[in-house]
């Protein structure tokens, strides 16, 4: 089918294969799954309206990403960045202290994982690295325009001239924005040695199974042996973050509403290219959505957990409303 066909059905059929990568791109820009879904819808609407002017000088994929980038830039103008608690600048918290909740903060959100069975392993690895929670959190330290330039250049591998044309600036300006963005990102993102283990590896799956079993059996003390010594735990919308296996276990003992084995149930999954688990808490005769845990696994142990207390995320991950 020609890319220049102008029928609506042709456009839908041609654009649909790019929906998921457009979602990932908008998610990296916005740091929000909910916002990214809206931005993709707006992107496709804009593309459909202007499809009769698409001349095929670039690929349809490039054209759609250009529209998506500008849609994101317009939407993000004047908006707050989306942090995690560790990005607020405060020191680690006392696990025995009071929890402070800030629901008005637009917190970073996780992204459901997707990998095509036929994808090349290097493509899968590249996709996962580009949506890793720590990387997306680091992007939030950049201005939207810096984010756009860095993602188009370093993730999508566009040339500076292509980026300049896409966002309406000069190649010199693009190179300047990219240099500043890389410098800022290097100051906050994980180091090159900070590689995560693949979520589907047998070692990671075994660790995730033991992690889930510790919660479901309410053997919280067993978690100490699963965390690294300097592990971090954070749980937006609470502002505190906690470092060290023993501090994390103390926090869970102090604050977790569960009291008995079976009060918590968990479903294993993947998010942001990382092992994850959806936690359900007993409420009467059923278990209801409570937290969504996204784990960093390094050297056979858990080095970081972000436990999102946002039950509106559960349907986005295809999870049941109750167990």
Mean pLDDT of 158-168: 95
pLDDT of residue 3: 45
* 311 found inside a domain: yes
pTM over 0.75: yes
CATH number, residue 38: 1.10.1740.10
- Average pLDDT for 74-89: 93
Nearest Cα neighbor of 87 from 71, 73, 75, 102 is 102
pLDDT of residue 312: 94
Pairing state of beta strands 264-271 and 301-308?
unpaired
Of 79, 97, 131, the position where a domain reaches its end is 79
Of the candidate ranges 46-50, 119-123, 213-217, the one whose mean pLDDT is the lowest: 119-123
Residues 6+ apart with CB under 8 A from 114: 20
For residue 161, tell me if it sits in a domain. Answer: no
pLDDT (tens digit per residue) in 201-210: 999 999 999 9
Task: Indicate the residue among 79, 112, 128 that finishes a domain.
Answer: 79
Taking every pair of Cα atoms in the chain, the longest distance, rounded to a whole number of angstroms, is 64
- Rounded to 5°, the CA angle 322-106-266 comes to 25
Please determine, for residue 248, whether its predicted confidence score (pLDDT) is greater than 50. yes
pLDDT tens-digit series, residues 301-313: 999 999 999 999 9
Q: Which of 20, 47, 79 is the last residue of a domain?
A: 79
138 domain residue, yes or no: no
C-alpha angle 92-97-99 in degrees, rounded to nearest 5: 85
* Six token digits for residue 255: 């604050």
Residue 113 lies in a domain: no
> Which CATH number is 258's domain given?
3.10.450.50
Instruction: Answer yes or no: is 178 within a domain.
Output: no
Higher-pLDDT residue of 10, 220: 220
Asked, for residue 170, whether it belongs to a domain, the answer is: no
CA distance 129 to 274: 9
Residue 23 in any domain: the answer is: yes
93: pLDDT strictly greater than 90: yes
pLDDT tens digits, 1-56 = 344 444 556 888 888 999 999 999 999 999 999 999 999 999 999 999 988 788 77
Query: Can you give the length of the chain in residues?
Result: 323
Please state the domain count of the chain.
2
Instruction: Note the Cα 51 to chain centre separation in Å.
Output: 31
Domain housing 216: 202-317
Half-sphere exposure of 300 (CA within 13 A, CB side): 2
For residue 199, which phi and psi values (nearest 5 degrees)? -65, -25
- Asked, as a colleague might, if the bond just before 237 is cis with ω within 30 of 0, I would say yes
Q: How far apart are CA 74 and CA 45, in angstroms?
A: 15
Determine the pLDDT at residue 2. Answer: 43
Evaluate whether residue 283 is within a structural domain: yes
């Amino acid at each position: 089918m020609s890319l220049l066909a102008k029928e609506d059905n042709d456009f839908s059929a041609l654009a649909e294969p790019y929906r998921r990568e457009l979602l990932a791109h908008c998610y990296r820009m916005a740091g929000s799954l909910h916002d990214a879904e809206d931005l993709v819808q707006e992107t496709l609407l804009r593309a459909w309206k202007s499809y009769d002017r698409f001349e095929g000088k670039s690929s349809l994929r490039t054209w759609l990403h250009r529209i998506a980038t500008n849609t994101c830039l317009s939407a993000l103008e004047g908006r707050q960045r989306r942090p995690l608690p560790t990005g607020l600048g405060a020191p680690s918290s006392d696990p025995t202290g009071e929890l402070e909740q800030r629901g008005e903060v637009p917190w970073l959100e996780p992204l459901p994982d997707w990998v095509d069975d036929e994808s090349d392993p290097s493509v899968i690895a590249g996709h996962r690295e580009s949506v890793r929670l720590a990387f997306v959190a680091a992007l939030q330290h950049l201005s939207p325009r810096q984010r756009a330039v860095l993602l188009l250049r370093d993730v999508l591998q566009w040339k500076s001239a292509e980026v300049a044309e896409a966002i309406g600036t000069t190649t010199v300006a693009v190179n300047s924005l990219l240099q500043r963005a890389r410098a800022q990102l290097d100051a906050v993102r994980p180091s090159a040695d900070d590689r995560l283990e693949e979520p589907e590896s047998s070692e990671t799956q075994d660790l995730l199974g033991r992690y889930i079993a510790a919660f479901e059996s309410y053997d919280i003390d067993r978690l100490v042996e699963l965390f690294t010594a300097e592990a971090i735990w954070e749980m937006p919308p609470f502002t505190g973050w906690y470092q060290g296996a023993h501090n994390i276990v103390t926090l869970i003992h102090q604050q977790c509403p569960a009291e008995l084995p079976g009060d918590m149930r968990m479903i294993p999954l993947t998010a942001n290219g990382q092992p994850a688990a959806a936690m359900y808490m007993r409420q009467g005769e059923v278990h209801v959505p409570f937290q969504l845990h996204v784990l960093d696994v390094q050297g056979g142990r858990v080095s970081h957990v972000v436990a999102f207390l946002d039950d509106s995320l559960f349907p986005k991950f295809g999870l049941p409303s109750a167990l």
